[in-house]
Chain A
């Protein structure tokens, strides 16, 4: 929430207004900020809705928002409220929207007043685990400090436990668990990674599982969803497919998923889209009189060359 206009305090200090007027102004100012905050949450949810697919994830985030908001209202009127442990596990293949969703959740938790900053600090094993005794705790604490007031997003978190008993990854997990308790009001920890590896990781660390009440599954995108993502990416860059190119792109996606055994992910599509844009540029670079329509259109020729 934004801080009130300092003018109110200055006017009170200078004797221009009595304290009752200052309190009224403070209340009005807070009302105004609350309206902005509701609008910002709606903006976050709209941003989430813009993502293709991920219907279960979207429902879960909306549930999370409703839960947080109602618990907050309950505590305000003195009713018992559930302790809000918002640490999460994200399970899914790369490019399935985990980081994007984490970013939206950070913004949303800031707007509802749970987190002060709502920023996302994305780390992986190398950022947390050190090379000698004592190094790991120091590195991990540094990242935790950076993330205070926001979200610490540990990508490929299962790798913290891959080195066995003598690996420093265990020390890192202990520091993270301690931080989850010590900074419960200032930090949300998200552990992310492949579905199967994360399941094995949690099984090997039963103490961790109970500390993460929210577990979100990110399914692979279907070929149709990937095509929609590609079209959205093109639209944002002010490009579009011809109908033939669209069909060809769909066939390329299906082919890539089938033959190259790549899980359906948006990152693959982004690379394909960017390659098609470069091919189109190559086609048009020598054509100095290209029309706006031509500059915007990706043809089947570009898609076939992917």
Chain B
């Protein structure tokens, strides 16, 4: 089954998106880090596996378990059919490069060229999100960016349509 792997840095809302997106699709009590899902669009149906991952954190972490988790995230990224990259939309005064740092740039660079890629700008309900999304667009050119709020479950309909087309 094709794996759609959710990646991103700490606190960007990956797990909230994973849980609430599954709920929006009718999976009442999502558990674990991977879930086979069925996407319906118009009269067609497609199946895939949605996979949540451990956050990517820069630097050498002292905790071995955390490092093992990141290694697994990278393995999943390398074998993913679709990469769902979650970034936090409110970038603040520092701007894209300063706020998102090298990790997001590298994930984006790798996944855009190698995989089917979906970029979600999360937390679009928070102040500063609009400016942040504009900066993301300026930085990433023609890449489609879907603004969402994982907490409020907004933008999920668009995510479902886009993901369906990628599969």
Chain A residue numbers with a CB within 8 Å of B156 are: none
Knowing A12-B67, A23-B106, A23-B107 are in contact, say whether A78-B60 is a contact too (CB < 8 A).
no
A22 in contact (CB, < 8 A): yes
Residue of A12, A19, A77 contacting most chain B CB atoms (<10 Å): A19
A30 in contact (CB, < 8 A): yes
Whether B103 pairs with A75 at a CB distance below 8 angstroms is no
Contact among A4, A13, A17, A80 with B165 in the assembled complex (CB-CB below 8 Å): A80
Docked Cα-Cα span, A15 to B109, in Å, equals 23
Q: Give the total number of A-B pairs whose CB atoms are below 8 A apart.
A: 81
Chain A residue numbers with a CB within 8 Å of B77 are: 26
Chain A residue numbers with a CB within 8 Å of B68 are: 13
A8 in contact (CB, < 8 A): yes
Whether A30 pairs with B165 at a CB distance below 8 angstroms is no
Whether B70 pairs with A19 at a CB distance below 8 angstroms is yes
Knowing A9-B74, A22-B74, A78-B143 are in contact, say whether A15-B67 is a contact too (CB < 8 A).
yes
B99 in contact (CB, < 8 A): no
B144 in contact (CB, < 8 A): yes
Whether B58 pairs with A20 at a CB distance below 8 angstroms is yes
Instruction: Assign chain A's interface to a size class.
Output: 20 to 34
Contact among A17, A24, A75 with B106 in the assembled complex (CB-CB below 8 Å): A24
Whether A3 pairs with B79 at a CB distance below 8 angstroms is yes
Chain A residue numbers with a CB within 8 Å of B113 are: 27, 30, 76
A236 in contact (CB, < 8 A): no
Closest to B110 in A: A27
State how many angstroms separate the Cβ of A258 from the closest Cβ of chain B.
54
Looking at B17-25, B114-122, B126-134, the stretch in contact with chain A turns out to be B114-122
Whether B58 pairs with A19 at a CB distance below 8 angstroms is yes
Docked Cα-Cα span, A34 to B60, in Å, equals 29
A14 in contact (CB, < 8 A): yes
Contact among A12, A26, A34, A185 with B70 in the assembled complex (CB-CB below 8 Å): A12
Whether B110 pairs with A23 at a CB distance below 8 angstroms is yes
Chain B residue numbers with a CB within 8 Å of A13 are: 64, 67-68, 70-71
Residue numbers of A with Cβ under 8 A of B are 3-4, 8-10, 12-15, 17-20, 22-24, 26-27, 30, 34, 75-78, 80-81, 185
